Chain A
Amino acid sequence: MTIAVASPTSSTTARFSPRWLSDRLGGFVLHVVVIGLTVAWMVPTIGLLITSFRLPADISNSGWWTALSPPFKFTFDNYSQMLSASNLGQSLFNSFMISIPATVIPVALAAFAAYAFAWMKFPGRDWIFLALVGLLAVPLQLTFIPVTTELVKLGLTPEKLTAAGLPPFIPLWLAHAGYGLPFSIYLLSNFFRALPSDLFESAEIDGAGTLTVFFRIVLPLSVPAIASLVIFQFLWVWNDLLVALIYVGGVASVAPVTVTLVNLVGSYGQNYQLLTAAAFFSMIVPLVVFLSLQRYFVRGILAGSVKG
């Protein structure tokens, strides 16, 4: 009987205990902070989106938030103007021609290299790896002049390549592969290293050679890491303006979307409203890539392998 009386009392105390209160309050504060940060982060993007649907005169006269109250004066002019700009179709094609090989080449090379760094023994392995990771710290800009000089010396310019019947994008593929490799190797070899060594030993006893282990065990298990690397590298190449501008310069037949869109803006900054529409237009492809690769981020891909 005593117990029957005592138990509800004790549970009431527990519910309003300082511990309970602080947990609740902590959760609340956390939510407010997270939501606040998210909103702060998104405001410029939303502003840009709204601006892209406004008339040039309105853009230069009032802030984007005024468009949210009546009278509404939205327009698709910026989009239609931007899309009708010359060469957009060609430059979209160029962007794909640049981005896809410039993603596939470094990721494929990095996967082989990372496997060697993670699981093969050869003299100087750690030092070479260290040097490679050190390359992450080299600023891009530092390489422009020497690399351009070399490319010209080797005859790897769009004009010469086209004349020789080769794809004019080769210098960009090489450049992006080079810039992407250190990070790619670093990321993948860290992932490969975390694979349980028992798997490799078991495969060795089962009679699998190095290449078989790579293709049949390491690659299938590394799909999440490779998917995220592909996203990183693709986004970086797709959004790149600087490298494309430097290595293929003003050659319109090779220019990717980024270069073409920047050229929409006049030298005195006129037509800059077109850039707002262009920004959203160029976002479509990365979004599609991201969403389609998202399903490969499988958590616990190693589950069931080496635990009881």
Chain B
Amino acid sequence: MSSVTYDHVVKRYTADLTVVKDFNVEIKDKEFMVLVGPSGCGKSTALRMLAGLEAISEGEIRIGDRVVNNVAAKDRDIAMVFQSYALYPHMSVYDNMAFPLQMQHMKKEDIDKRVKNASQILGLDNFLKRKPRALSGGQRQRVALGRAIVRSPKVFLLDEPLSNLDAKLRGQTRIQLQKLHRDLETTFIYVTHDQVEAMTMGDRIAIMNAGILQQVGTPGDIYDHPANLFVAGFIGSPTMNFVPATVDNGIARASGLEVKLPKPVSVTKGTLGFRPEAVTDRVVEGGPTMKMKVDVVERLGSDQFLYGQVGSDQVTARVDPRMSVQPGDTVQLGLGTAGLHFFDSETEKALI
């Protein structure tokens, strides 16, 4: 019983400054939901409203069946991990983790049991007497997690918990967090600006931009069927290719490319979108092709990305790493039509 529902939630600071607009999401029990978007998109505010750190201007937030709009943060049965960790610097690791339990006037033995248990899960056994300043970044991050775990809350809120870690540690902690989610069987709501974290960790992802929820879905769903131009450009790296095109008789024409659309569209102008992996050195007989004047070649070992001009448009291609290309070359590339998208030029909504 720890689902979370945002029901037409609005956050307004002043009459003309609205940071979260009509936000509707239903997060299921035990789900790992990631809120992702560029900085300033309102994702953190959405989380802080759920935590009780910000008032809700309009709408309702429910945890389970309980409306929590007017419930104090401490009574919402949630735990939050801050980006900065927010450890109490003058307390030992043990006291940091025991603090929320002491606030609930729990018995000493019970507190001890829970703290020991959490520290075991997180591998903090040997650091319980240390102060936060004597810990490494990764250890501090685990203490912050531990402080959340000991409470066994209904919902875990994580506000960019990995962004202060170095790249290698971030990768490891990502895996740890997923394991933790599986073991604890609790609802996780995770805020990040990093689409890689979102794609790898989320059961579902909610993408926000400028205070507006853009799309909610599983990572695969969002990757394959972005709802609009923003989502298509935000998810995936390198980003999807966008070329302006006109449509005539089911055929989209861009400046250096012609392709038959898999589905008819009702507009005559729009944006054609295809991911770099759709542009390859495999030219299918009779299929769509393009000539690219290569500007930059990026060899990553397993992949090779070509950045260049197709007609007057900028296009990225992912080709076989053994293909020998030099900047300045002109190459013939094929376009796979399976992952073809077409966006309305007015509404930016996906038509295909």
Contacts and interface: CB of A to CB of B under 8 A. Distances in A.
B103 A305 contact: no
A206 B132 contact: no
A206 B137 contact: no
A204 interface: yes
Nearest to A303: B133
Interface in B71-87: 73-74, 78-80, 82-87
A71 B51 CA distance: 81
Contact of B86 (A221, A300, A305): A305
Nearest to A308: B164
B88 A305 contact: yes
B52 A308 contact: no
Interface string B246-259: 00000000000000
A233 B164 CA distance: 41
B223 interface: no
B80 A307 contact: no
Nearest to B84: A306
Contacts of B137: 308
Which one of A302, A303, A306 has the greatest number of beta carbons of chain B within 10 Å? A306
A301 to B, nearest CB: 7
Given A300-B133, A301-B90, A308-B164, A204 B103 contact: no
Contacts of A221: 89-90
B165 interface: yes
A137 interface: no
Contacts of B88: 199, 202-203, 217, 305
Contacts of B73: 204-205
Contacts of B74: 204-208
B195 interface: no
B86 A199 contact: yes
B126 interface: no
B100 A201 contact: no
A205 B104 CA distance: 11
Interface string B98-115: 011001100000000000
A205 B140 contact: no
User: Which of the four size classes fits the interface of chain A?
Assistant: 20 to 34
- Identify which of B82, B84, B89 gathers the most chain A CB atoms within 10 Å of its CB: B89
A67 B86 CA distance: 61
B193 to A, nearest CB: 16
B90 A220 contact: yes
Interface residues of B, number: 32
B85 A308 contact: yes
A304 B103 contact: no
Interface string A274-308: 00000000000000000000000000111111111
A207 B100 contact: yes
B132 A304 contact: yes
B175 interface: no
B84 A206 contact: no
B141 interface: yes
Contacts of B78: 205
Interface string A196-237: 101101111111100010001100110000000000000000
A203 B147 CA distance: 11
Nearest to A201: B53
Contacts of A301: 89-90
Nearest to A206: B100
B89 to A, nearest CB: 4
Interface string A98-110: 0000000000000
B62 interface: no
Nearest to A220: B90
A55 to B, nearest CB: 55
Contacts of A203: 88, 99
Contacts of A220: 90
Nearest to B51: A205
B86 A207 contact: no
B121 to A, nearest CB: 19
Nearest to B133: A304
Given A207-B74, A304-B133, A308-B141, A196 B86 contact: yes
A150 B141 CA distance: 58
Contacts of B51: 201, 205
B103 A206 contact: yes
A66 B25 CA distance: 89
Contact of B89 (A207, A304, A308): A304
Contacts of B338: none
Contacts of A306: 82, 84-87
Contact of A307 (B90, B103, B164): B164
Given A204-B74, A207-B100, A305 B132 contact: yes
Interface string B297-323: 000000000000000000000000000
27 contacts: A196-B86, A198-B82, A198-B86, A199-B88, A201-B53, A201-B86, A202-B80, A204-B53, A204-B74, A205-B53, A205-B79, A205-B100, A206-B100, A206-B103, A206-B147, A207-B103, A207-B104, A216-B99, A217-B88, A221-B89, A221-B90, A303-B133, A305-B84, A305-B133, A306-B84, A306-B85, A308-B137
Lowest 4 CB-CB distances: which A-B pairs, in order?
Answer: A308-B164, A304-B133, A304-B132, A207-B103
Interface of A: 196, 198-199, 201-208, 212, 216-217, 220-221, 300-308
Given A205-B73, A306-B86, 16 more contacts: A198-B82, A203-B88, A204-B52, A205-B79, A206-B147, A208-B99, A216-B99, A221-B89, A303-B132, A303-B133, A304-B135, A305-B85, A305-B88, A305-B132, A306-B82, A308-B140
